[in-house]
Amino acid sequence: MNLGSLKIEPRLEPKFSWQLLSALLALAMSMIVCALMLSAAGADVGKAFYQIYKGAFGGWNATVKTLVMSTPLILTGVAVTVAFQAKIWNIGAEGQLFAGAMMAYWASTFLSNSPSGVVIPVVIMAAFIGGALYGGLAGYLKARFAVNEVLSTVMLNYVIRYVLSYLLVGGSWRDPSSFYQQTPKVAEAAHYPLLLAGTRLHLGFMVAVLAAVTVYFFITRTSLGYEIRAIGFNPTASRFKGIHVGRTVVIVMLISGGIAGLAGAGEVFGLHFRLKPDISTGFGFTGIIIAMLAGLHPIGVIAAAILFGGLVNGGIRMQIFTGVPTAMISAIEGIILLFFLTSAVLTRYEIKRVKADG
């Protein structure tokens, strides 16, 4: 019997069905490894998984909480995705999130007596501008002085955190009535409206989904989106064909930073109603993982962010009911990412059976 042999070859055109299959395969593999890890830690694997699921998507309340948790993650994920279309590593979504939150908060202080219809659009715009300026700064440094964006964005994360600390400790933003480093509560009119009464799901979630969809069309359908992808793949050919690479780098970082800035406003005006250093627990960094997980597809980012939001909430429940620390969730996130990145090979190659000679 002649079975022939199997050959691996690059795919000419990636197929969606294979992308889906590889995603499912990666998910299954990560669950197996996570199970091994949980059992090594002495936990009851079935119970731990059940509690994660319960906390993430087990019922209406849990699901809505997951959406709330995913809101900033969608935005930071999309922010990283946009930048990476131009092969720019925006490690600074965390800092841009704070820059957006600070700009939005600052703008809101001028509008303490304005109605919602005025103050909320202003807050959203200010958040975008704040993040955009901060992201654009890294873009400008890269375009003008060839400063590596990984270094500049990482460093800028620290700068903005310390500026905020300064303002909250000795500066004018501190709530004098509070022991904590935080601002006073923002005006009622500046609160993001709720999407579902009785829950904490706020306007920010809609902003996030809208941002993802807009970015998708922007990247795939507009001339600027085309140029962003072109400079990402081949800056030399792009420059030869008249695309202004430096200017495009700045623009893409303005957009990326702006979107990350929206995440900051969502947390301040939708959830905490005041600005404090812990409005983000590393959302900007988780956004990088989410963007990779989503294969840099803005719509995929929504799904990946909801998954991660669920893991965070599920992890909390797991800790309460099984005693397995939530730190395990970070490990699970890492494992999922690793399997997704490896399984992506499936979408780029195909296995063909070739007839042996004869």
Partner 1 sequence: MEPLLRTQALTKKFHQVVAIDSVSFDVRPGEIHCLLGENGAGKSTLAECIYGFYQPEQGEIFVEGKPVQMSSPAEAIGRGIGMVHQHFVLVPTLSVLENIVVGTNTSGILLDLGRAEKEVKRLCERYCVELDLTTKVWQLPVGQQQWVEILKVLYVGARLLILDEPTAVLTPQESRALFEILRMMTRENMSVILISHKLNEVLQSDRVTILRKGKKVATVKTDETTREELTAMMIGREVEINLTKDDPVMGPEILVIKNLRARNDRGQAALRGIDLVVRGGEIVGIAGVAGNGQKELFETLIGVRKARAGQISLLGEDITRRSPKYIQEKGVAFIPEDRFAEGLVPDFSVEENLILGSQRAARFKSRGFIDFVRVADFANKCIADYEIATPSGKTITRTLSGGNAQKLIVAREFAQAAKLTLANQPSRGLDVGVIEYMHQVLLEKRREGGAILLASEDLDELYNIADTIVVIYKGQIMGAFPVAEADIQQIGLLMVGSGTDEFGVACRI
Least Å from the CB of residue 168 to partner 1: 43
Least Å from the CB of residue 289 to partner 1: 23
Least Å from the CB of residue 246 to partner 1: 12
What is the secondary structure of 56-119 as a DSSP string? Answer: HHSSHHHHHHHHHHHHHHHHHHHHHHHHHHTT---TTHHHHHHHHHHHHHHHHHTTTTS-HHHH
Beta bridge partners of 202: 194
112 versus 222: smaller Cβ distance to partner 1 = 222
117 vs 273: CA distance, rounded Å: 17
36 versus 210: smaller Cβ distance to partner 1 = 210
227 versus 267: smaller Cβ distance to partner 1 = 227
7 versus 144: smaller Cβ distance to partner 1 = 7
Query: Do 173 and 183 form a contact (C-beta atoms < 8 A)?
Result: yes
Least Å from the CB of residue 352 to partner 1: 8
143 versus 275: smaller Cβ distance to partner 1 = 143
8 versus 40: smaller Cβ distance to partner 1 = 8
226 versus 273: smaller Cβ distance to partner 1 = 226
Beta bridge partners of 354: 5
259 vs 211: CA distance, rounded Å: 7
354 vs 358: CA distance, rounded Å: 12
Contacts 24+ apart (CB under 8 A), 343-346: 343/22, 343/23, 343/25, 343/26, 343/29, 344/22, 344/295, 345/22, 346/18, 346/21, 346/22, 346/25
Least Å from the CB of residue 39 to partner 1: 42
Least Å from the CB of residue 353 to partner 1: 11
Least Å from the CB of residue 233 to partner 1: 4
Question: Which stretches of the chain bind partner 1, using CB under 8 A?
Answer: 7, 9-10, 12-13, 217, 221-223, 226-227, 229-230, 233-234, 236-244, 354, 357
Beta bridge partners of 330: none
| Residue given tokens 């022939």 in the structure block | 4
81 vs 96: CA distance, rounded Å: 14
2 versus 221: smaller Cβ distance to partner 1 = 221
Least Å from the CB of residue 232 to partner 1: 9
30 vs 110: CA distance, rounded Å: 49
Query: Do 73 and 332 form a contact (C-beta atoms < 8 A)?
Result: no
What is the secondary structure of 110-175 as a DSSP string? Answer: TTTTS-HHHHHHHHHHHHHHHHHHHHHHHHHHHHHH---HHHHHHHHHHHHHHHHHHHHHTSTTS-
